[in-house]
Amino acid sequence: MPETTLTTLHIPATIDPVAITGPSDEFLRIIEDSFDARITVRGDAISIEGDPVEVSSLTTLFDDLMERARMGEPADAQQLRRALEMLRTDEFSPRHLRDDVVLAFKGRAIRPKTAGQKRYVDAIRAHTITFGLGPAGTGKTYLAMAMALSALERGEQSRLVLSRPIVEAGENLGFLPGTLTEKVDPYIRPLYDALFDMMEPERATSLLEAGVIEIAPLAFMRGRTLNDSFVILDEAQNATPEQMKMFLTRLGFGSKMIITGDGSQTDLPRGATGLEQACAVLDGIDDIAFCRFSGKDVIRHRLVAAIVAAYDRAGGVL
C-alpha cells in the first residue's frame, strides 16, 4: 500500500474558522478539488490524511491561511487559487510572499501576491536594470513604485524619477489649452495615482515640490544623466527605439532603472517599438533582468485574467 501520513492542525480561538474554511466551506471545496488527500474539519481541528508530500503542502497552505487571518488579512478565493498554483510549481511557498513586505503604509502591507511578482521584486533587488513585461493588472508599475519608495526611505537612492511616453491611446485629443504641466498631466496622472496611494498626500506633494520625486514625460529625459536615482519608465511599449535608447543611456552611478510595458497594447502607429527592440538587443547582458508576467499574475477582477487569456488565444488584437 502507498505510504500515508496523518496530521492534525488546530485553528486558534482568536481566528474565525470561516477565514480558513471559507464561506459555506468554499475554500475547502477548492482545496479538495486540487488534492487527493482527505481533509476533515471538526470544530477547531483540521485533519489531513494522505500522501506525505500532499500533507506537507496542505499543512503549509493552512498555516498560511491562519497566519493571514491572524494578521487581519484573510485570504479570498482568488488568493487561495494563487497559493495553490504556487504549491504546484514548488518554486515559492505562500510564506515567501507573505513575509516579503515591500512597503508598509497606514497599516497596509504591499507585497508580491504571485510567483511572477515575487520573481519581479527579487530581480529589482538584484539588478541595476529590470524590465517588467506583461498584461495589464499584473502589478508591474505598482510594485515598481513600491520598490522605489522603499529604496528612497532607506536612503539607497536620493531621488525618484517617474516617466512615461506621451502618446494618445487611439484617440486624437487635439489641442489642449493651459500650461505645459496641464497639457501633459492627463498622460502621467496614473503615476500620481500610484504615488498618492502609497504615501501621505502632504508628504508626496512636499517631495514633488522639492524635486526629490519627479514625474516627467519621456521626451524631457534627453540630455540628462540620472545619478543616485531610482528611475521608472512606465508604458514603455509606447517608446520609439530612439527614445528607448535615449532613456537607457540616462543611467548614472548609483542608480536603478525599471522599465514596464505590455507589448500587446502599443499606441505607436507602426513599426517595432523601443520596448521590443530593447528586449532583443539587451538579452543576455549581465545586470539586466527581464521578468515576463502572464494572466496568472493578474491581480484585478478575475474577469481581467479571463480577458487577457482570451486575447492571447486569439493571437492578440485583430
What pLDDT, in 10s, does the model give residues 116-154? Answer: 999 999 999 999 999 999 988 899 999 999 999 999 999
In 181-287 the beta strands, taken as DSSP E runs, fall at: 213-217, 229-233, 256-261
Does the pLDDT at position 74 exceed 90? no
> What confidence tier does 239 reach under pLDDT thresholds 50, 70, 90?
very high
Confidence (pLDDT) at 120: 96
At position 238, the amino acid (one-letter code) is N
Q: Are 119 and 92 in contact (CB under 8 A)?
A: no
Confidence (pLDDT) at 232: 95
Confidence (pLDDT) at 171: 41
Does the pLDDT at position 115 exceed 60? yes
Return d(Cα 249, Cα 202) in angstroms, integer: 33
Confidence (pLDDT) at 312: 74
Collect all residues with Cβ–Cβ distance below 8 Å to 96 and sequence separation of at least 6.
118
Confidence (pLDDT) at 301: 66
> What confidence tier does 178 reach under pLDDT thresholds 50, 70, 90?
low
User: From the centroid of its chain, how far is CA 175?
Assistant: 35
